[in-house]
Structure 1
Amino acid sequence: MYRPILDPLADSLALSALVAGLPIVTLFLLLGVARVRAWLAAFGALTVALVVSILVYSMPAGQALLTASQGATFALFPLVWTFGTAIWIYRMTVTSGHFDVLRRSFARVSDDQHVQALVIAFCFGSLLEGLAGQGTPVAITTVMLLALGFGPMKAATVALVANTVPAAFGPLGLPITTLARVTDLPTDELGAMAGRQVPVIALFIPLLLVGMVGGRRGLRRTWHVAVSCGLSFALAQFLTSNYFAMALADIVAGLVSAVVVTVIARVWPPQRRDDPLIDTAATDGPAAPAPVGPVTPDGPDGPVTPDGPGTPGGPDRGVAVASRRVVAPHPPDAPAEVWRAYAPYLVIVAIFGLSQVPAIADALNAVTVTFDWPGLHLLTVSGAPSTLPVFRFNWLSSTGTLLVLAGLVTMAILRVTPRTALVAYGQTLASLRWAILTVCGLLALAFVMNGSGQTATLGTWMAGAGGLFALLSPILGWLGVALTGSDTSSNSLFGALQVTAAQRAGLDPVLLAAANASGGVVGKMISLQNLTIAASAVGLNGREGDLFRRMFGWSVVLICAMALLVGLQATPLLSWMVP
């Protein structure tokens, strides 16, 4: 039985925190400075965490390794099970040719890439986050943007930035309900408080997305659409989380903003240029509007094949199409084929919606197996039994299993044979092998830091800032999500600590607990888990470091803005925003 202590190094919390932060520093340096491959960065940081836990925290080596093994297993199920299946569904649409139909359909709704980025990455991605989470929005929206002519790097960065503000409420409010469970605070108050923080950031994310797609020229052309998108999303998210149903905040906000963007883009379309160009991977600069006519999926990277578009080097190249050339306009697709192109995503929405019906949810969860990880015996800092060794094998109700069901329905609708579907799944796993290794190393790192007490040491040290902790509170959530890739996991790690620190500093516990969830949303874009999913989806394996460097500056700017907002909410100036 292992019980961690907060200050193992010379009885000094500050020195212990300095050492406890070494794994995170190692991860960021290897990924962002040394530019090593993501899986090497993850396992390098894991090695440092194991050394610190054994030598500094006196954690038995066997317990440390068992904790790492549980984290790696959790990465395989449910995380790899989820995003791997999501990409498999995409591959089947490529094999059947319906992804081209979907691309042409989106191009006819709006041939402007700025509008397409808002509708697909931000609005549709929010809907997917509200239903499924666990990397599904990033995996699906990146390849959808890719098929519309976005360069691989741009598709990945846009999807990562868009998958921020929905993360606070996640799949049907799970991050908030988890936060309520670990803090013993009312769920409705936490949801309402998060709904008065995250929408402020949501106002600016669409503008950032438009700027990423087209630079200043894109902002001048499409600012009114972006502003309408941000306002409608923020208002819907605020009203739903405060006065309707917190669990539906992202779903309602995503649907409302999608309708608003579509209407505004038709009533007040972005200004057109005479020479629209397709964005390419070779020059990943400001993107121009995609032409209305179809784009052939061939070019320097080769034709679309069952292995994924543009993969002459095999599955390692992923699904990236490096460049495209404009050809003669394609005849209008038959309505039945257009329906089939949208069907996989409609099926996903329908299945996840039905899975939340109480009777169906109870039936799915009835076969869940819960057990203690063999040989792992941990206590918390307070001496209570730790919940970390508990492994929940929800094999039927998990997101990945529901996606498999959606994939089977997709097979029937798209008329994909079982053999073709099985081959596509094998190719998906082969193309994701480095991503799988990365996620396993990353989750093993998170579990070791949590089980050994390193995470608690860092959080307790930050909580010693007293009244200034209101400014640091969102940063703690940001670090938690950057490390684990999940707002739910970050709330589990730091939720109780936020409440304790608030009580010691005389601050509102609801404010700081919600700040953990709200600050975590902008950590999603630099989470190695999400970076790996995005890179793998568009064939940028090994370039996670490039994505990290592109995302890090914006993530820092946004977390500073969130910290300032929470800090002001802790003062009389904005205290009226606290429920």
Structure 2
Amino acid sequence: MQWKQDFTPIADNLALSAVVALVPILYFFWALAIKRMKGYVAGVTTLIVSLVIAVIAYRVPVSIAAMSATQGAVYGLLPIGWIIITSVFLYKLTVKTGKFDIIRNSVLSITEDRRLQALLIAFSFGAFLEGAAGFGAPVAISAALLVGLGFHPLYAAGICLIANTAPVAFGAIGIPITALEGPTGIPAMEISKMVGRQLPFLSFFIPFYLVLIMAGWRKTIEVLPPILISGISFAVTQYVSSNFLGPELPDILSALVSLVALTVFLRFWKPKTIYRFDSELEAAATIQAQKRYTSGEVFKAWSPFLVLTLFISIWGIPQMKAALTGHYEGTNVILKALNTMGHYLTWMPEVPGLSNKIIDANGQPIAAVYKLELLGAAGTAIFLAAIVTKFIVRISWKQWAETFAETLQELKFPIITITAVVGFAYVTNASGMSTTLGMAMAKTGSLFSFFSPFLGWLGVFITGSDTSSNLLFGNLQKITAASIGMDPVLALAANSSGGVTGKMISPQSIAVACAAVGLAGKESDLFRFTVKHSIFFIILIGIMTFLQSTILSWMIP
């Protein structure tokens, strides 16, 4: 039995249908921000609410609604859950073997100041990981590093989520931008240029904002020079690379330039006072800073993360990605061999009872598969780095396996949270609820240029991915923009730029961050920490897009 999507199921009225479609989202906000439910409880109950709305209000057959939830849950396990497990596992290996003490010391040798450590790790190093891998790895790894340095887990997770705003649109070798070209027909380079004329303003501001959140106004002004070095170097590189090289490299280049620039600057400049969170951390940091390690010891301690960076960078190369998923068609002997392996380790079975059962607005059936790319998943790259790390840190296979088992035990509830919220996202998309909300927002007429980024924000909140949000609302943005006289390139860029501000409150991101820092069950606290910042940033992007659509139209390529 097939079912056709209906985006105005309530009395054929878009406004009423949009109100109903908002119910699961409002429930999730209420569950975390007001009721303060544990993350897995909020996630599972939100999934249930979305299923009820889909079946009763949108008249989705029960079997179709249920199977769409399973499709999302599988995606929540692979690749997202797999990334979290392997990232935390790698971090725990360095802690168990004492290598993280040396890593902590090496960071302290650059600066003992928590404000500047946040810029180095949350902002610059996190952006590099976003550019190379994406899909949760940047927040998981950089937040775990900050906790290891002595940051409070909630602060570590929160500032890493906020810092991750700057690079998301160009994450995973530019996938969010390049994905827009296919369904919209607009060249990715043009979208890259426009995003590169929006996000650098945010990237310049975020280092200042991060420190302001941490330390207050006076303590922020105290370290204004390194803040400016960090923000300006990142923003300028992001603009130049996105406008002249394309969407693939802005994150990696911007992150490296800002990381090197700030590290070099801190060799010659020190803050008047060292900022730490409390006296206990101060004492511990002082003792640690007094230890001396050779350059060889420091290199060995950082090696697991250098190996991680190497693997995820290789995994992000388009030709390698194609080979690892069994889709390589070139002649390179090594890649052909990997392609054979990737072919056998990639499964795309149709989702029973769902594939081609939903008819879209154009009358076409929608295919649905369980996407199981075992070798090509970023988590597998991290897992291989963990295997190499076993030999670097010289831990026995028994201890290695025990550490992996401990990681699985610690992450059982976060994984439940992730599978539930991704299931919720898939139910929302399959039923048409997300499209209803997008259509309602598109009815804002002359104010659409202001609300255009809010579509991206909503899309990332629902799906947890800027790529998915762009695919979900890209055509709607293009068509609506053309109908009101707004440049479609600006609308598409606004969807991606607005989407980055929704990443910090996406249920998936919240669950990932909490899992990485050991705050399972405290997702409501982290959500309350980030939601106000997310709203502030999306309003800024909305104002910027409105101005670029009117008095600053010369900025559009």
> Would you say same fold, with TM above 0.5?
yes
Shift of 1:550: 1.4
1:525 and 1:531 in contact (8 A); partners too: yes
Q: Could you tell me which residue of structure 2 aligns to residue 331 of structure 1?
A: 291
- Between stretches 523-532 and 331-340, larger displacement belongs to 331-340
What is the rounded CA distance, in whole Å, between the counterparts of 1:270 and 1:379 in structure 2?
61
2:351 and 2:370 in contact (8 A); partners too: yes
SS in 1 for 2:4: coil
Shift of 1:349: 1.6
Residue type at the aligned position of 1:260? A
Q: Could you tell me which residue of structure 2 aligns to residue 350 of structure 1?
A: 310
What is the rounded CA distance, in whole Å, between the counterparts of 1:280 and 1:67 in structure 2?
51
The normalised TM-score by structure 2 is 0.93
Residue 563 (str. 1) matches residue 523 (str. 2) = no
The Cα offsets for residues 232-253 of structure 1, whole Å up to 9 and x where unpaired, read as: 1111011101101321110000
Shift of 1:358: 5.4
Residue 165 (str. 1) matches residue 145 (str. 2) = no
Change (3 A) 1:506 1:278: closer
Shift of 1:177: 1.3
Shift of 1:280: 7.7
Q: Could you tell me which residue of structure 2 aligns to residue 184 of structure 1?
A: 185
Shift of 1:181: 2.0
Residue type at the aligned position of 1:527? S
Change (3 A) 1:49 1:362: closer
Shift of 1:329: 5.8
Shift of 1:8: 0.7
Q: Which has the higher helix share?
A: 2
Shift of 1:545: 1.0
The Cα offsets for residues 314-352 of structure 1, whole Å up to 9 and x where unpaired, read as: xxxxxxxxxxxx547643123332111111111112122
Q: Could you tell me which residue of structure 2 aligns to residue 379 of structure 1?
A: 359
What is the rounded CA distance, in whole Å, between the counterparts of 1:61 and 1:358 in structure 2?
39
Shift of 1:178: 1.4
1:194 and 1:517 in contact (8 A); partners too: yes
Residue 435 (str. 1) matches residue 414 (str. 2) = yes
Shift of 1:182: 2.4
The Cα offsets for residues 166-217 of structure 1, whole Å up to 9 and x where unpaired, read as: 1111100011111222222111111111111111111110001111222223
Q: Could you tell me which residue of structure 1 aligns to residue 196 of structure 2?
A: 195
1:115 and 1:265 in contact (8 A); partners too: no
Shift of 1:353: 2.4
Q: Could you tell me which residue of structure 2 aligns to residue 395 of structure 1?
A: 374
- Please show how residues 169-568 of structure 1 align to structure 2 within 5 Å: 169-272=170-273, 277-279=276-278, 295=285, 327=287, 330-357=290-317, 359-366=319-326, 367=343, 368-376=346-354, 377-387=357-367, 389-568=368-547
Shift of 1:2: 1.7
1:72 and 1:444 in contact (8 A); partners too: yes
Structure 2: tracts of 5 or more residues without a match:
327-342
Alignment RMSD (CA, Å): 1.7
What is the rounded CA distance, in whole Å, between the counterparts of 1:253 and 1:52 in structure 2?
43
- Please show how residues 19-98 of structure 1 align to structure 2 within 5 Å: 19-98=20-99
Shift of 1:511: 0.8
What is the rounded CA distance, in whole Å, between the counterparts of 1:382 and 1:357 in structure 2?
35
2:242 and 2:250 in contact (8 A); partners too: yes
What is the rounded CA distance, in whole Å, between the counterparts of 1:78 and 1:269 in structure 2?
41
1:20 and 1:454 in contact (8 A); partners too: yes
1:6 and 1:456 in contact (8 A); partners too: yes
Give the aligned length: 536
2:84 and 2:515 in contact (8 A); partners too: no
Residue type at the aligned position of 2:49? V
The normalised TM-score by structure 1 is 0.90
SS in 2 for 1:203: helix
Shift of 1:456: 0.7
The Cα offsets for residues 442-493 of structure 1, whole Å up to 9 and x where unpaired, read as: 0111000100111111101111112211111101111111222211111121
Structure 1: tracts of 5 or more residues without a match:
282-289, 296-325
Change (3 A) 1:359 1:490: closer
What is the rounded CA distance, in whole Å, between the counterparts of 1:407 and 1:540 in structure 2?
23
1:149 and 1:280 in contact (8 A); partners too: no
